[in-house]
A = this chain, B = another copy of it.
Amino acid sequence: MTKKALILIADGTEDMEFTITYDTLVRAGVQCTSAYVSSVGTESATNDAYQATPYATCSRGIRIVPDTVFSPQAATPETYDLLVIPGGAKGAETISTNSPVQHLVREYIEAGKYVGMICAGSLAALTSNLPKQPLTSHPSVQSQLESDFTYSNDPVVVSGKLVTSRGPGTTFPFALTLVELLCGKEKRTEVGGPMVFPPGTFA
């Protein structure tokens, strides 16, 4: 059965972390949906504020048109196998402080579905009150996380259904780990080949 991933995006989301994750999952046959989380609240995002600006302006200025607007009702673990929260300071703040997102993070974990967080996106583990467990993040937010989690410097940390990573430079292994968890080790190898990683890296 086709696996499905919901990848959140907001103004200030890190351009590469979003794109590498989405693209790599699509290459693995995962059906990806990007959903725009508004900084002015979930309610407003569904009406005028969003209509006026139908794209997210990412952290380095790339403007991405999301597939849909984030709706807690449509984002449930009954529909998706994976929820991804990318980094980028401002985008991660918008997403991790969104109360429906926090609720969903707990729901996904409880339902046995995967949640991926990368870079400052790992702050969502804290704001969602996830129990103490191994985790990593961008070094710039380490101090906010290390008392509540077992902080690791590994490029990718898999802790049950919670998968965390560090920054743009670790997004390939992050995305390929998500591919392996959702679709198996063979699919990871199949997807990695045509991406032509330099010898000795990742694949």
Contact = CB atoms under 8 A, between A and B. Distances in A.
Interface of A: 14-16, 19-20, 22-24, 26-27, 32, 34, 55, 58-65, 138-140, 155, 166-170, 172-173, 192, 194-198, 200-203
A169 B167 contact: no
Given A62-B23, A63-B64, A196 B169 contact: yes
A168 B155 contact: no
This protein's copies in its complex: 2
Given A15-B22, A16-B19, A65-B63, A169 B155 contact: no
A23 B195 contact: no
A65 B195 CA distance: 24
B15 A19 contact: yes
B60 A22 contact: yes
Given A169-B172, A196-B169, A23 B201 contact: no
Nearest to A192: B169
Task: Identify whether the interface residues of A are mostly helix, strand, loop, or mixed.
Answer: mixed
B155 A170 contact: no
A168 B201 CA distance: 13
A195 B200 CA distance: 19
A67 to B, nearest CB: 8
A167 B193 CA distance: 10
Contact of A169 (B65, B169, B195): B195
Contact of A194 (B24, B167, B198): B167
A130 B202 CA distance: 33
B203 A23 contact: no
Contacts of A16: 16, 19-20, 23-24
Contact of A167 (B60, B140, B196): B196
A138 to B, nearest CB: 7
Contact of A170 (B19, B23, B196): B196
